[in-house]
Structures are given as structure tokens and as C-alpha cells.
Amino acid sequence: MKRRTWTTILFIICVIGFWVFENFYTPEIYGPSDQKNQILPEKELWPSSKGEIVKHQYFMLSYRDAYEQAEWVAYVLKPEQLTQDDRRRPYFIEDPKVSSKSADWRNYKGSGYDRGHLCPAGDRRFLEQAYNETFYTSNISPQDREFNAGIWNRLEQKTRYWCKKYGDLVVITGGILEKGLEEIGEEDVDVPYQFYKIIYRDGPEGEAVIAFLIRNQESNRPLQDFVVPVGEIEALTRLNFFENKSKAWQNQFEKGTALSRWRF
């Protein structure tokens, strides 16, 4: 009888301990945060937000708890950051700066979807902390494996090419979050049907913007086929991607595609 009582008590303690861990545990952070030396887009280039804005050292994001992922991730990409440094791939961990905690990576296990980076780890090889930060689960979204390794990867490589050619870029990227999406894992992580990437530059030739909207599946079509006006992505996301820019600026840069300003 005593043994059964102790077993029951231990079971109750384990249940309580697990609940406390799940609700109050704060994950370890990947490196210290030096707010004075953060490399983030200028405020006039920030998108609007329906989620919680989180700033890391080398990228920022707006986290939507209802979808268990970021509605956008924004970062600056500089030519000197495009190194081939060999980095040890860290574990995916929950983002300690997201107040509700970002979704656990285990939601992706057995789902058939990749843990797709929004800010690519390949853009952050120049520094261990910068690289590791991309493995916060706030920076990942469920992506079809062939899409992630295929056309999405080709777009990331093209972005690096443009950075080398034109200089500093601001990149804003995410999935189209909407009602009725497929969900995976115990935390119901939504699977975007489409992903977007918006790229901005301001160099000797002036300002230029290009935007892509791609279905979450592999395609052999050229990247040019997926170029859309920024306004089209705004209509789908209900976000204003350059809300701090003037109306005249938005009318000039968000309604067209300006393919001629970007060498493919």
C-alpha cells in the first residue's frame, strides 16, 4: 500500500514539474545581446507588425503566436558578411526573447516538412553568434523539402549575388499566414502555402526594391516568374512593408516590379 502511495506522489510531482518547466522555463540564449551594436534595418524600413517584435543582434522579427512562427524576419546583408567560414551546426532552440516561447522544434518531427530558415544560416557564417542566432525556432517555418533545397535556396543564393554586386541589402521574408492552413505538431504550427522575400537596396544608382512570392513547392521556373509588386504581398499579409516611408515613395516603389534594376 505504501509503495502504491509513493508511486502516486512521485507521479503527481513529475506532472507538476513538467507543467512548471513548460510554462516557466526560459531557454538559454545564443550569445550576449549588445543593443548598442545591433546590426538591424533602419526604422524607416521596418514593416508594420501584428505580432511581437523581437530584436536579436543580427536580425529582427515579428512573432505571431497564433501561427507559432514569425510573420516576417528582417535583416541587413553586407558584402563583408558573405564568408565561407565553417560553422558547427547548433541545435534548434526556443527563442528566449519571445514572451510566449517560440514553437518547439519537435513539432516538425515526422511532419514531412523541413525546418526552413527565414534568415538563412548561410548569410551569417561570418560570426559564430550570428550563425547560431538563426537557429532560434522563431526564425524557422515549415517548408516543403524540395522547395527548401530548390527554388528557395536558389533565391537565397541570388540574394547573395546581388549583395556582392550592389552592396548592402535589407531583406524581409516570411510565409503568408492566413486562416485554414495545414498544421503540424502538438503546438499546431501552421504550414504557409506561399513564401515571400522582399529585397531593398540604396546605392550609387539610387533605391530599388524587388519582391518574390513563391508557392511552397519546388519549381523549375526562372526566379523572374515569381517577381510581384510589394503591394500584392501587402494585400495577402495585410502588412505595410515600408510603413515609415512617404506615400509618394510607396507609390513609386511598391506598385511595379522594376525587373530592369536587378541583374539575373
Neighbours of 109 (CB within 10 A): 10
26 — phi, psi (to 5°)?
A: -110, 120
Return the C-alpha cell found at 50: 501584428
| 261 DSSP assignment | G
**CA 116 to CA 153: how far, in whole Å?**
10
The question of whether 56 is a catalytic residue gets the answer no
Which of 64, 115, 117, 197 is flagged as catalytic?
A: 117
DSSP E strands in 94-226: the ranges are 113-117, 140-144, 169-175, 183-184, 189-190, 194-203, 206-215
Neighbours of 186 (CB within 10 A): 9
Residues with a catalytic annotation lie at: 117
